[in-house]
Structure 1
Amino acid sequence: MGRVFVAGSINMDVVATAERHPRIGETVAGEAVFYFPGGKGANQAVASAKQGVPTTLVGRLGTDAFAKELRTFLAAQGVDLGFVKHTDNMHSGTAIITLANADNTIVVVPGANGLVDADDVAAPVLAKGDVAVSQFEIPLPTIAAFFERARAAGTTTVLNPAPAKTADSALLDLVDILILNETELGVLAGTELSDGDPPARFAEAARSLAQGKTICVTLGKRGVLALLDGGEPMLVPGREVKAVDTTGAGDCFVGALASQLASGEPLRDALAYANVAASICVQRMGAAPSMPTREEVEALLPPRRPGEIVTSARSSDQSWHPPPAPA
């Protein structure tokens, strides 16, 4: 079995719940406030570790009260914290989240996450069969340094370019698997996209970024659209569930997918697995604490691999078609 290495952010999520989100300049009465361990790096590491795969987190904490609580929580989830440093005179990353009707708005204050550097990601020893994961809540040059080392070691690289921001081609060229939502896809592809667009529209935008890599576009309750090795786009349909908190859903998908790849599972099966994991995550409050266990995911896996092929984005036919029967 390979291992998962996540270079990324560690935050304390301060979550306020309300009946609705305030408009600009408006104050609304909240219902409750919660403190949840989070940060995209930590979330993805927890999601992977809870699938029983050796998972190491590379990152930084501050020296504030949140730091001890975050370290204690992550260790209890089975995440290896040997490469998580404490940074003097700096607060830990913090996310201020408003949650209303299962939808959220988030303001992230990076703190120590903004100081994760090339020396930090050079510390772990990567190997062929491992999976290296990162996101855009640490400096982009640090991610590039991490992926350069991963490529040299024969390690699979997985990038979740969130929160959405532009990135140069040199970084994207180091990516084997790109996992992003429609907003992030639109930013990187330089086009306007919305969650109601037809599947072929997402496929067309994803093709512009492919260039030898696999693209996975997470579409919420609609499922996941994937371009595998430049082939025809495949849809893994979403599961119908009652969402309570979508904050960590994308991170759950990334971490669960990475765990399956490190376990040697084919990408198509890993996509189906990660999709089920994310559907469990959204039914719970919090980010990192909502990540499901392997047993919970396996109990809901369909007996056959779900997946449909969408026609070419250049075709006027934008319907979905069933895939060929597995060999």
Structure 2
Amino acid sequence: MLLVFGSINVDMAFDTEVLPRAAETVMGKGYRISPGGKGANQAHAARLDGSATTLVGAVGNDAMAEMALQALISAGVDLSHIQRLKGQTGCAAIVVDGQGENQIVVAPGVNLAARADLVPPEVLARANVLLLQMETDYSQNTALALRARQLGCPVVLNNAPAKPLGVDLLQALDVLIVNQPELTMTTQILGISANDPGVLVQTLSQRCSFSVVLTLGGQGLIACRPGEKPLMLPAMNVKVVDTTGAGDTFSGVFAAALARQQSFEQALMRGLVAAGLSCTRPGAQLAQPKAEDIDEALAAYQTLHRI
């Protein structure tokens, strides 16, 4: 079972030709309201890929709460430990341009009040992998990661949106997933510098004794396990419609594959292919692929790249 502790939002997405600059108003071509949030997106992606998935997080007592949970319920994610708190459900405003690039503003609402101590010990004990992100309270992530570490449950952290990571959390991690700005923040704080991203990834992995995955969008990814050389995987060649939630799709499917005891490399490729497929449709959870679609695309990807 994959256990996800993280945010649950409603996304309000606006399609435009170009992203607005400071003090600029641009006319949109349309908009959509759909479920989102990094934790929810990752849990939804994992469940669509066929993994038993439990999500722990919080929604408010407002009209958006049910909308935020709709797709998770339909997908069959275990929501029995969702906290319903007084306040606003998290909400994100997303602007997507004609090339599929986006700008995002998140109002976290009650996500910051979600408490990790409400994850029952028996649920954590059953988990094969714990997946975390940074749209919930940092201290709650750290507390849950330390509990998981004591039980021998692998901990995967997607440091997004990027925050400085303290020693306690770093020592509890098995895998750190970052994009380029998130990697730069983490390595600068630790005094690690290099011009080559592969060297940065390898040095960080060696220094902290955990695996590091650097996602590079259309360029694929670079990953490294402690004591090994960096592995580079190219992205799928797809027509990009919307990149919203692609990183969440990668993290959820990657962690789910690890929870099913797939190898590190197989989990990387499966997450990479799933993320590529999600870019071909608009939205976050609405765009995520099912297991059979990932299977087909993964076979084609491996044949193309002779992996």
Shared fold (TM-score greater than 0.5)?
yes
Mapped contact 1:234–1:307 kept (Cα < 8 A):
no
> How many residue pairs align between the two structures?
300
Shift of 1:229: 2.6
**What amino acid is aligned across from residue 244 of structure 1 in structure 2?**
V
Mapped contact 1:93–1:113 kept (Cα < 8 A):
yes
**Cα distance between partner residues in 2 of 1:33 and 1:295:** 29
Partner of 2:45: 47
**Cα distance between partner residues in 2 of 1:123 and 1:37:** 28
Partner of 1:115: 113
**What amino acid is aligned across from residue 259 of structure 1 in structure 2?**
A
Partner of 2:196: 201
Shift of 1:173: 1.2
Q: What are the equivalent positions in structure 2 for 1:157-306 lying under 5 Å apart?
A: 157-190=155-188, 201-210=196-205, 211-302=208-299
Flag structure 1 segments of 5+ consecutive residues without an equivalent.
Answer: 192-197, 309-321
**Cα distance between partner residues in 2 of 1:6 and 1:118:** 11
Q: More deviation in 240-249 or 297-306?
A: 297-306
Shift of 1:124: 5.5
SS in 2 for 1:190: helix
**What amino acid is aligned across from residue 199 of structure 2 in structure 1?**
E
SS in 2 for 1:138: coil
Shift of 1:30: 1.2
Name whichever structure is richer in strand by fraction.
1
**Cα distance between partner residues in 2 of 1:84 and 1:280:** 29
Flag structure 2 segments of 5+ consecutive residues without an equivalent.
Answer: none
Partner of 1:67: 65
Name whichever structure is richer in helix by fraction.
2
Shift of 1:44: 0.2
Shift of 1:207: 3.0
SS in 2 for 1:91: coil
Q: More deviation in 265-274 or 115-124?
A: 115-124
Shift of 1:129: 6.3
Change (3 A) 1:238 1:29: same
**What amino acid is aligned across from residue 143 of structure 2 in structure 1?**
A
SS in 2 for 1:125: helix
CA RMSD of aligned residues (A): 2.1
**Cα distance between partner residues in 1 of 2:73 and 2:121:** 19
Change (3 A) 1:71 1:303: closer
Give % identity. Answer: 37
Q: More deviation in 117-126 or 231-240?
A: 117-126
Change (3 A) 1:306 1:248: farther
TM-score by length of 2: 0.93
| Deviation sequence 1:252-285 (CA, Å, 0-9, x none) | 0000011111111111111111111111001011
Shift of 1:63: 1.0
Partner of 1:104: 102
Q: More deviation in 296-305 or 73-82?
A: 296-305
Change (3 A) 1:124 1:306: farther
